[in-house]
Structure 1
Amino acid sequence: MAERVFRIHEEAGIRSAFVAAWALVPALFAKAKHGLEIVIRPMKDKRSVAQNRRYWMLLRELAAIAWIDDRQFSDQTWHEHFKRALIGCEEFVLPSGAIEQRGISTTTLSIEEFGEYMTQIEVWAAEQGWPLMAGEWRAAA
């Protein structure tokens, strides 16, 4: 167990979150090399359904028009590429013991951060000579 996140929506939930966290301390502390970290912050607003729809429109459009070394890539491949390039990577261990990397999930981004992320993708695509028309959707929406 690497970490646990408790989301508290009402003041009444604070005590139960702390009780549950306290119960995890012995197991986590035994595995922690440098101690534990407690972070309390306002919950981030998640991206909207409209943002998510626009994001996948951008990726599908890029997959349809972009060619690199005589190859095209799927929207899923572009999704993973941009997560790694623009958000970063996280390591995870497979049951075999092999260590792999994957892009950090876009769901970690706030509404504002996700908007900036899409803008970075659009700028990159335009610089490559592939201006994305899904960007026009933003003005119409």
Structure 2
Amino acid sequence: MTRQKFEQRKLLLRGQEQVDRAIALLRNVPLDAERPLELLVREEVKARKLDQNARMWAGPLKDIAEQCWSDERQYSAEIWHEYFKQQFLPDEYDPELCKDEKYRKWDFDPGGQPVLIGSSTDLTVKGFAQYMEQIHAFGGQMGVEFHESPPRG
């Protein structure tokens, strides 16, 4: 039997009602021995929040851009953000830090040079909190006085 393309479905199991729906779905799913389906059960992975992102730009990135000097010059918040992504994004997929198992930090251009493709949008709430802690630690080492306290993980 050849089935049509199966659209991915995500169910959050919060109670017995959702468990019953999941079981009903599994009982009625069209099977195909040539194209088996994969079932994955794990704790919900929460993507970083927009307010975390807004706080990053209005807080530590702004403070670092205004107060930090490197190589006798100051850099914009955007340049610091790119630098911090290179330094602090996870090198590999980690289910606690990255929201998608397809996460990659680097790719390579046609000439073989590494290109940063990872983004802070790829991080979970926990991953983004860790990223922010690393930015705060960097700023602290550079003598930056932050206008808000570091986030808690």
Q: So what's the TM-score if we normalise by structure 2?
A: 0.58
In the other structure, the counterpart of 1:83 is 85
For residues 115 and 127 of structure 1, the distance between their equivalents in structure 2, rounded to whole angstroms, comes to: 18
4+ aligned runs moved over 3 Å, structure 1: 9-12, 38-43
From 45, 63, 66, give the equivalent of 1:64: 66
| Unmatched runs of 5 consecutive residues or more in structure 2 | 1-7, 13-21, 92-104
2:83 aligned partner, one-letter code: H
Aligned residues, how many?
112
Q: Is the 8 A contact 1:83 1:103 kept in 2?
A: no
From 98, 101, 121, give the equivalent of 2:111: 98
Structure 1 residues 39, 74: CA separation in 2 closer, same or farther (over 3 Å shift)?
Answer: farther
| Unmatched runs of 5 consecutive residues or more in structure 1 | 1-5, 23-37
Structure 1 residues 112, 7: CA separation in 2 closer, same or farther (over 3 Å shift)?
Answer: farther
Q: Is the 8 A contact 1:45 1:110 kept in 2?
A: yes
Larger Rg computed on CA atoms? 2
Superposition RMSD on alpha carbons, in Å? Answer: 3.3
Q: Is the 8 A contact 2:63 2:144 kept in 1?
A: no
Q: Is the 8 A contact 1:54 1:134 kept in 2?
A: no
2:123 aligned partner, one-letter code: L
Structure 1 residues 129, 59: CA separation in 2 closer, same or farther (over 3 Å shift)?
Answer: same
| 1:16-51 deviation line (CA, Å, top 9, x unaligned) | 9x99xx5xxxxxxxxxxxxxxx89444521111211
Structure 1 residues 7, 73: CA separation in 2 closer, same or farther (over 3 Å shift)?
Answer: farther
Shift of 1:135: 2.6
1:120 aligned partner, one-letter code: Q
Shift of 1:131: 2.8
* Superposed counterparts of 1:11-90, under 5 Å: 11=22, 40=40, 41-57=42-58, 58-87=60-89, 88=91, 89-90=105-106
For residues 118 and 44 of structure 2, the distance between their equivalents in structure 1, rounded to whole angstroms, comes to: 18
